[in-house]
Amino acid sequence: MDRSADIAIVGAGIVGLAHAYMALRKGYKVVLFEREQFAIGASVRNFGLVWPIGQEPGVGLDRALRARQHWEEISKEAGFWMKPNGSLHLAYHEDEWNVLNEFIDLYKGTAYKCSLITADEIIKRSPAVRKLNLKGGLWSETEGTVYAREAIRRIPLWLQEKYGLIIKFGHVVTEIDMPLIKTARESWRVDKVYICSGADFETLYPEVYDQHPVSKC
C-alpha cells in the first residue's frame, strides 16, 4: 500500500475538515487522521451557528461571508441540513434601540444585509418573542444554522466520495518527524502536516503548549 500524501491533517473537527476541503479542491492528495470514529470535541458541542454579523466589516466579515457561501454549497452537495434563518436582534429599552440605529448608520454601504424592523414585524417573523415593551429590532439576512453533529459526520464521507480524501478514523498520531507522520499502526510520508487537534494539548508537542498560558474552557 502506498502510504504517502501531499498533506496530512490531524483532527477531523471542522477546522481540520476545512483545511482538507481547501487542499483537496486544489488537487492535493490528503490523508486525514482522527483518533475517534468521528470528531467529538467542540465541533459537535456547538450550536452550529453560521454568524457573519458577529464580524466587523473588512477581513473578518468578508471571510465570514465566504464561509457561509461554502456552508451553503457543501450542505447541498454533502446532504446535511442547513437553514438560512437570518438573525433577529431585539431592543426592549431605549439605549438598546439607539445602539441598533447607530449600527445601521455606522455601517451603511458595507457587506451587512441589515434593516430595522418594527415590533409587529418581529412578531410575524418569530411569534415566540416577548412583545411587552418591545421597541423594535434589527433583522439580518446573512445568518444560518447547521446541525453540527450531522455535518461533522457527513462532510468527511463526502470529501472521500468526491475528492478522494483518505480517512484514517481510529488512528492516534503519536509522532511527527517530517517527512514521516506515525500512528500506533501506520507510518506515512507526507510533505506538510496541519495539526487541528482541538483541546488535545498532551499528545503532540505538549512542550509548545506549556510555554503559553493556554487553558481549556
177 within some domain: yes
- Binning pLDDT at 50, 70 and 90, where does residue 50 land? very high
135 and 159 part of one domain: no
Residues 206 and 166 in one domain: yes
The pLDDT of residue 217: 77
* Model pLDDT, residue 87: 96
207 vs 134: CA distance, rounded Å = 53
Residue 55 belongs to some domain of the structure: no
* Domain membership of residue 155 as a residue range: 4-48+147-210
**Inside any domain, residue 80:** no
pLDDT at 68 over 80: yes
pLDDT digits (tens, 9 = 90+) for 114-131: 999 999 999 999 999 999
Same domain, 155 and 116: no
Report if residue 53 sits inside a domain: no
Does the residue 154 lie in any domain? yes
Which are the contacts of 61, defined by CB distance < 8 A and separation ≥ 6?
52, 55, 110, 111, 112
Percent residues over pLDDT 70 in the chain: 100
Given a cut of 80, whether residue 1 has pLDDT beyond it is no
Q: What does the pLDDT average to over 121-145?
A: 96
* Residue 58 within a domain: no
Is the pTM value of this prediction over 0.85? yes
Residues 152 and 203 in one domain: yes
Asked whether residue 194 is domain-assigned, the answer is yes
